[in-house]
Structure 1
Amino acid sequence: MSKGEGKRNNKKCLAYVAAFVVFQTAIILVFALTVMKVRSPKVRFNAMAVESFSSDNNNNSTSINMRLLAQVTIKNTNFGHFKYQNSTLSILYNGVQVGEMVVPRGRASARKTKKFNISVDVSSEGLSGNDINSGVLRLSSRGKVSGKVHLMKVIKRNKSGEMKCDWSINLGTRQVEDLKCN
Structure 2
Amino acid sequence: MKVKNPKFRVRSATFENFNVSNSSFNMTMNAQLGVKNPNFGPYKFRNTTVKFYYKETLVGTAIVSKSKAGLKTTKKFDVKVDLIAPISLASDAQLASDISIGLLPLRSQSELSGKVELMLIMKKKKTTQMNCTMNVNIKSQQLQDVMCK
TM-score, normalising length from structure 1? 0.74
1:39 alignment partner in structure 2: 4
2:20 alignment partner in structure 1: 55
Q: Could you give the per-residue CA deviations for residues 23-54 of structure 1, whole angstroms, max 9, x where no partner exists?
A: xxxxxxxxxxxxx2111111111111222211
Decide which of 103, 106, 119 is 2:67's aligned counterpart.
Answer: 106
Percent identical: 37
Which secondary structure state, in structure 1, belongs to the residue aligned with residue 2 of structure 2? coil
Which secondary structure state, in structure 2, belongs to the residue aligned with residue 173 of structure 1? coil
Q: Which letter maps to 1:55? A: V
Decide which of 124, 139, 142 is 1:172's aligned counterpart.
Answer: 139
Q: Which letter maps to 1:143? A: S
TM-score, normalising length from structure 2? 0.89
Q: Which letter maps to 1:96? A: T
Higher relative contact order (CA 8 A, sep 6+): 2
Decide which of 86, 89, 105 is 2:50's aligned counterpart.
Answer: 89
Say if 2:98 is the partner of 1:131.
yes
The alpha carbon displacement at 1:172 in A equals: 1.8
1:5 alignment partner in structure 2: none
Gaps of 5+ in 1: 1-35
Aligned length: 143
User: Structure 1 runs of 4+ off > 4 angstroms?
Assistant: none
Larger radius of gyration between Structure 1 and Structure 2: 1
Distance of 2:121 and 2:140 partners within structure 1: 52
Distance of 2:140 and 2:39 partners within structure 1: 40
Decide which of 74, 81, 106 is 1:120's aligned counterpart.
Answer: 81
1:74 alignment partner in structure 2: 35
Q: Could you give the per-residue CA deviations for residues 78-134 of structure 1, whole angstroms, max 9, x where no partner exists?
A: 111111000111101102111111111001111111111111111113243222222
Distance of 1:133 and 1:94 partners within structure 2: 17
Q: Which structure has greater helix proportion?
A: 1
Q: Which letter maps to 1:41? A: P
The alpha carbon displacement at 1:56 in A equals: 4.3
Q: Which letter maps to 1:137? A: L
Q: Which letter maps to 2:49? A: T
Gaps of 5+ in 2: none
Structural RMSD (CA): 1.3
Say if 2:26 is the partner of 1:65.
yes
Which secondary structure state, in structure 1, belongs to the residue aligned with residue 72 of structure 2? coil
Which secondary structure state, in structure 1, belongs to the residue aligned with residue 114 of structure 2? strand
Equivalences for residues 153-164 of structure 1 within 5 A: 153-164=120-131
Distance of 2:16 and 2:148 partners within structure 1: 21
